[in-house]
Structures are given as C-alpha cells and as structure tokens.
C-alpha cells in the first residue's frame, strides 16, 4: 500500500471504511475500501461478494470500477484493500446540499442487462461524477445474482428503502432494487426520505400512509400484515400533491416503481422504455 497516499475518510461500505487516496504511480485519485481481516474468519464474505460482482459488471459505465485488490499488513493487523475509481460525492450528500429538484433522471438498477441485484440501494451507495453528470452504483457487499424469486436473506436493504416483500420476509427478486430506486427518486424531489419508519412494521405503516392500504386482490400477502396489527383504513395520497413539480410521466413512472405486488412492479428494462426517459441516451444501457 506504499504506492497510495491516504487522504480523508469519505464513507463506510458494507465491509469497511472508504478513504480517498492518491495513487503515486498512476498519478490519479482513487477510493480505497479497507476490510479488516481476522485469523478466524479470513476474508469477509461481503468483500468476496463485492469483488466478484464488480468484476462481472466491469463493462458497465454505471457501476463503480474496481481498479485493483491489494493486501496490507501493519502493526499486526491485516487488511484487504479494494481500490476503486474515485467519484466526487455520494447522492445523499448531494441531496442534502440542494433544495427540491424537478424532473430528475435516475439511474436504473444493475439488472437491466444482468440478473444482479445490489440489494442495498440508497443515496449513500450511488456515487456522482459531477462534471460529467454521471451516477454510478457502488457497494455490492450485499449484492447477488438473482434469477427467480426465492427466500433470500431478509437482512438486506437499509430500512427506509426496503420493498414490502423484504419487510414481510417474503420471496423476492430484482424488483427490490426498483422499489429502492422509487424511494430514492422521491427523495431527490422532496429532499427527504419518502418513507422513514423506525422498524419493519413502522416502515410498512409509513408506506401505507402514502400509497394507501393495499387490497388482497392487489397484494395477497397483505393478509400477513393484518394478522400482526390492527390497521386503520388508509387511503392513498395523490402523488401529484407530494411531488407538485414532477410531470405526469414522472408521476406515472414513480407509481409503477412503487407497486406493492412485485409481479406488477415495473422492471428496470421497462422503466428505461418509459416516456419519462424519452430524452435519455439509452445506447449505453
């Protein structure tokens, strides 16, 4: 690691702290994610998973590039270091620095051409190159390849961005990323989290307060929620009243991203074909 001049701490990833650093050989800024290695456990599973997925997604210009994997040992401590391309800022910091925005394009999840699900999409895990106006997905420590809905681990996705099927510990697929991006889309527009619950159940109630209580016809799994608590009847709020600066195409897209039933939720590929993105250059997707 002598080739790198460590600078400031810029964030925390699924498997360790992330620093900005200067690559003295290549004369460029990089980001270095440092995972602590233990004698008993060896390399963290999240680090192995992230390395594998970043390598498989290396052709995508919308996924942060893995430049190198290095190893360091100092003061009796061993570390695995993921050297990544440097980005200017994460989307959370960008949102916090700005007021409300309108008609904001949003990056699609990483399953447009693959079956990879990030499973932890949130503003902190979307990085920005401000000068080029590019957004890139980062932190694939919880990511995995998903082909069909199955009973995967429910311990995924930061609470405010969890899809209903994850909150209820039901089988899920790549649609969980679409739901997360719907939440992020809304957050870009209003400058705060769209649903900010304090627990799985409270998160569901926050969702119900905006989207209304789903019917059994719309989402049969809602019966499992009703068995857990007594719900007051909730009627949906008009999304246009929450997002007055979003055009009709944007409202339609957002509503399709936030469908309760994952089988009715728009896919990433279909989202790119939505009229909201008609002015977007889709040649790279």
Q: Work out the end-to-end distance of the chain between its first and last CA atoms, rounded to an integer number of angstroms.
A: 35
Catalytic: which of 120, 217, 278, 281?
120
Work out the burial of residue 260: count CB atoms within 10 Å of its CB; fewer than 13 is exposed, 13-18 middle, 19 or more buried: buried
Q: Which two tokens stand for residue 223?
A: 């019966």
What is the Cα–Cα distance from 46 to 35, expressed in whole angstroms? 9
Pseudo-torsion of CA 178, 184, 188, 194, nearest 10°? 120
DSSP for 236-252, written as a single string: PPPHHHH-TTS-HHHHH
Q: What share of the chain is helix, strand, coil (3-state, %, to 5)?
A: 30, 25, 50
Mark whether 40 is an active-site residue: no
**Which CA distances in Å does 242 have to 179, 213, 226, 245?**
18, 17, 27, 9
**Which residues are designated catalytic?**
120
């Amino acid at each position: 690691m002598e080739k790198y001049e460590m600078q400031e701490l810029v964030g925390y990833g699924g498997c360790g702290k992330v620093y900005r650093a200067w690559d003295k050989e290549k004369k460029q800024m990089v980001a270095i994610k440092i995972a602590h290695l233990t004698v008993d456990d060896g390399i963290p599973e999240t680090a192995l998973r992230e390395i594998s997925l970043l390598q498989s997604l290396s052709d995508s210009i919308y996924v942060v590039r893995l430049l190198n994997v290095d190893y360091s040992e100092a003061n009796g401590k061993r570390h695995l270091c993921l050297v990544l391309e440097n980005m200017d800022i994460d989307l959370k910091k960008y949102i916090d620095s700005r007021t409300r925005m309108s008609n904001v394009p949003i990056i699609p999840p990483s399953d447009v051409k693959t079956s990879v699900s990030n499973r932890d999409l949130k503003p902190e895990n979307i990085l920005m190159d401000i000068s080029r106006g590019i957004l890139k997905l980062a932190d694939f420590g919880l990511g995995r390849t998903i082909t069909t809905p199955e009973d995967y681990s429910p311990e995924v996705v930061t609470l405010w961005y969890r899809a209903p099927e994850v909150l209820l510990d039901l089988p899920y697929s790549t649609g969980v990323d679409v739901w997360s991006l719907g939440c992020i889309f809304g957050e870009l527009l209003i400058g705060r989290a769209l649903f900010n619950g304090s627990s799985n159940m409270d998160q569901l109630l926050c969702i119900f307060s905006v989207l209304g209580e789903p019917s059994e016809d719309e989402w049969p799994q809602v019966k499992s929620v009703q068995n857990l608590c007594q719900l007051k009847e909730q009627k949906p709020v008009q999304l246009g009243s929450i997002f007055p600066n979003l055009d009709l195409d944007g409202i339609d897209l957002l509503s399709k991203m936030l469908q309760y039933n994952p089988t009715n939720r728009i896919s990433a590929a279909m989202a790119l074909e939505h009229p909201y993105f008609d002015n977007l250059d889709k040649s790279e997707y």
